[in-house]
Structure 1
Amino acid sequence: MSNMDVITQHYAASDRGDLEGMLAPLGPETTWTEAAGFPYAGTYTGPDEVKANVFEAIGRDWDGYTFTLGELHDAGDTVIGLGTYTGTHRKSGQSFTARVAHVWKFDGGALVGFEQIVDSAPVVAAMG
């Protein structure tokens, strides 16, 4: 399976709300970095840390939190997804839209890293 196929499957799992499918490409040493300034900023290692510190936290804090893929670019050992986050904060009731880039890094066909680059300001503002 190509690197592009792996990420295409990740986003398809995201679209259907399949968290286990989203986490499937991550190995125990895969690093996942959420951007500085983003509410869940930090670098997490392996699927369990990513699940707890990113996806479960988002699910706890937001209604309808969605990533909509606009473009997917194959750069060999790097795959870049460009899109938009949207959601409504559970406590504030405020919604947001933010542009985002996902940078996926592979080594020998294994996913070794993910980096989020996002306009965090609208996300933080929606939190009240």
Structure 2
Amino acid sequence: MSDVDVIAAHYAASDRGDLAGMLAPLTESSRWTEAAGFPYAGTYTGPEAVRVNVFEAIGRDWAQYRFTLSELVDAGSTVIGLGSYSGTHRVSGRSFTARVAHVWKLVDGRVDTFEQIVDSAPVLAALGEPA
């Protein structure tokens, strides 16, 4: 399986709501970085930290939260996912759509690093916070 196929499988798992499938390409040393300014900003190491600090937090705070992939760029051991996030904040009731890029670096078919680059202004507006 090529590196782009590994990431395509991650996104397919996301579309199915399959958290185990989403976390499958991560190792205990995988570093996952959510962008500064994003509500879940930080770098998390390993699938358990990503599950708790990113995916469970998003599920707790947002309804109908999703990533919609518009393009998957194969750059060898680097794969870039371009798309948008959308969702409705459970407390404020406000919805958003925000453009995002995911930069994945893989080693031997497993995620070494993930970096999120996102327009967090619409997300913060949905939270009722200034951008």
TM-score of the alignment, normalized to the shorter chain, above 0.5: yes
Matches for 1:15-94 after TM superposition, within 5 Å? 15-94=15-94
The two structures, once aligned, show a CA RMSD in angstroms of 0.6
TM-score (norm 2): 0.96
In the TM superposition, what is the alpha-carbon distance from 1:108 to its structure 2 partner?
3.2
Distance (whole Å) between structure 1 residues aligned to residue 60 and residue 21 of structure 2: 19
Name stretches of at least 5 consecutive residues in structure 1 with no aligned partner: none
Deviation of the 1:111 alpha carbon: 1.4
> Displacement, 1:106?
1.2
Question: Aligned partner of 2:99: which letter?
Answer: R
Query: Any gaps of 5 or more consecutive residues in structure 2?
Result: none
Q: Which amino acid aligns with 1:68?
A: T
The total of aligned residue pairs comes to: 128
What's the CA shift string for 1:65-104, capped at 9, x where partnerless?
0000000000001000000000000000000000000000
Q: Deviations over 1:3-30 (max 9, x none)?
A: 0110010000000000010000000000
Question: Which digits, 9 at most, give the CA deviation of each residue in 1:98-123, with x for residues without a partner?
Answer: 00000000123331000000000100
1:5 equivalent to 2:21? Answer no
Q: TM-score, normalised by structure 1?
A: 0.98
Amino acid at match of 1:81: G
Equivalent residue runs for 1:87-126 within 5 Å: 87-126=87-126
| Runs of 4+ that moved beyond 4 A | none
Q: Which stretch of the first structure deviates more once superposed, 45-54 or 105-114? A: 105-114
Distance 1:105 1:7 in 2: 10
